[in-house]
Amino acid sequence: MTPAGEGALPADDGGARVSLASPTMIDVVDVSRRYEGDQAALDHLSLHVAEGECLALLGPSGSGKSTLLNLIAGLDRPTEGTVTVGGTRVDRLGEAAAARYRRATIGLVFQFFNLLDDLTVADNVLLPAQIAGRPAAGSRRRAAELLETLGIDRHAQAYPGRLSGGERQRVAVARALMNRPPLLLADEPTGALDTASGAEVRKLLVDLHAEGQTIVLVTHDEVLAAAVATRTVRLVDGQVAA
């Protein structure tokens, strides 16, 4: 397993490049996100995450956890405030630059895996590298290495629909790590899993963090947060709870 940084950024990633010299990986300052009807999902929230840290965002449904994760991932833009990741002002990125930023900087793990059903496990894992235009041979080696490390190499040519929930989430993690991202964002990674599978994924995240991976974890699962996170932040109504 390769932790954050190590050779993860291709030379042609332009504006999406992360400044590795920054001790702060994520700097969210006074961010608000309002949707139609002026309802604030996030309300003047500020947050800082250091490189190598594993932060767990806890809170009830509708508290703004996933919205914050989307802002950090460049999937959405704040209505106000700034989001800086590795020195890049994510809130200013256009769609194309945000895509390049995600390629280079972010690995995303979702509650419902978001694997492509018509691609094999190996092709799902390879996808971020292929989209980034990485050399094929190196990418295949990297995918094989990840599948082996995560214990799912025997399923490489299977389709996601045939795997258990835990196995699918491992595939999703492998895909998220494919481009060696400095930052892993996980949105309820155990939320759709049974207890045994949840434990597998929990161990996986612990191992990743132990190897130096910066992780931001959104979860309802207090056990997961306690096992993995170095720090927890609780959100209520779009604000950090006192």
Partner 1 sequence: MSAIRTVVRGAQRRRVSTIVIVAATAMAVTATVLAGLLLAASSAPFANAFAAQHGAHLTALFDAAKTTEQQVAATASQAGQAAGPFPVATVAPKQDGGPGPGLPPLTVAGRADPGSGPIDRVTLLSGRWARAADEIVIARTNLRLPAGTTLTVANGSTLKVVGEGRSISRTAQGWMTPGGVAALGQTGWQMLYRYADAGTEAAMTAHRTALGGGAQTQSWLGVRDDAAHRTQLFVPLLSAFGLIGLALAALVIGNVTAGTVASATRRIGVMKALGLTPAQVVRACLAQALIPGLIGAVLGIVAGDLLAVPLTADVAELFGTVPMSVTPWVDAAAIVAAVLVIAATAAPAGWRAARLRTVDALAVGRTPAHGRGRLAARLAARSRLPRPFSLGLAQPFTRPARLLAMLVTIGLGTAAATFAIGLAVSLRHVQAADQKPNTSADVLVLPPMDAADRTDPRAVLDATPGTGSYYGRGPAEVAVDGLRETARGTVTTGDARAAGYEMLDGRWYTAPGEAVVTTGFLTATGKHVGDTVTGTGHGPLTLVGEVFDGSANNHLYTDAASLPGPQPALEWYIKLAPGTDRTAYLVALQGRNLQAEATQAEGADGTLVILDSLTALLTALLVSVAGLGVLNAVVLESRDRVHDIGVHKSVGMTPKQTAVMVVASVGIPGLVGGVAGVPAGWLLHHWAVPAMAHGAGIRLPQSTIDVYAPGLLAVLALAGLVLAAGGALLPAGWAARTRTAVALRTE
Q: Is 114 in the site for partner 1 (CB under 8 A)?
A: yes
Min dist. Cβ of residue 132 to partner 1 (A): 6
Angle between helices 165-177 and 195-210 (to 10 degrees): 20
**Does the protein bind partner 1 through residue 120 (CB under 8 A)?**
yes
Q: Name which of 52 and 86 has its Cβ closer to partner 1.
A: 86
Q: How far is CA 19 from CA 91, 182, 215, in A?
A: 16, 10, 17
CB nearer partner 1, residue 75 or residue 144? 75
Q: Select from 1, 20, 29, 119 the one that contacts partner 1 (CB under 8 A).
A: 119
Stretch that binds partner 1, among 23-31, 95-103, 147-155, 189-197 (CB under 8 A): 95-103
**Which of 132, 150, 193, 201 touches partner 1 (CB under 8 A)?**
132
Given 25, 26, 93, 126, the residue binding partner 1 (CB under 8 A):
126
Nearer to partner 1 among residue 116 and residue 223 (C-beta) = 116
- Distance between the two ends of the chain, CA-based, in angstroms? 37
Residue among 228, 115, 95 at smallest CA distance from 164: 115
Q: Does 70 interact with partner 1 (rule: CB under 8 A)? A: yes
Residue among 207, 234, 200 at smallest CA distance from 219: 234
Instruction: Check residue 183 for interaction with partner 1 (CB under 8 A).
Output: no
Strand order in the sheet with 88-89: 40-50, 24-34, 80-85, 88-89
The nearer residue to partner 1, 179 or 197, going by C-beta atoms, is 179
Contacts of 1 (CB under 8 A, 6+ apart): 146, 149, 177, 207, 208, 211
Nearer to partner 1, 65 or 225 (CB): 65
Where in 201-240 is the site for partner 1 (CB under 8 A)?
Answer: none
* Token code pair at residue 29: 């300052």
CA angle 44, 218, 177 (to 5 degrees): 120
Residue 159 as a binder of partner 1 (CB under 8 A): the answer is yes
- Spatial distance between the Cα atoms of 214 and 21, rounded to a whole number of angstroms: 14
Extract the tokens encoding 209: 């963090």
Name the β-bridge partners of 108: 185
102 lies in the site for partner 1, by CB under 8 A: yes
Binding residues for partner 1, total number by CB under 8 A: 34
How far, in Å, CA of 224 to CA of 128, rounded?
A: 27
Binding site for partner 1 (CB under 8 A): 70, 73, 75-76, 95-96, 98-100, 102-104, 108, 110, 114-120, 123, 126-128, 130-133, 136, 159, 161, 175, 179
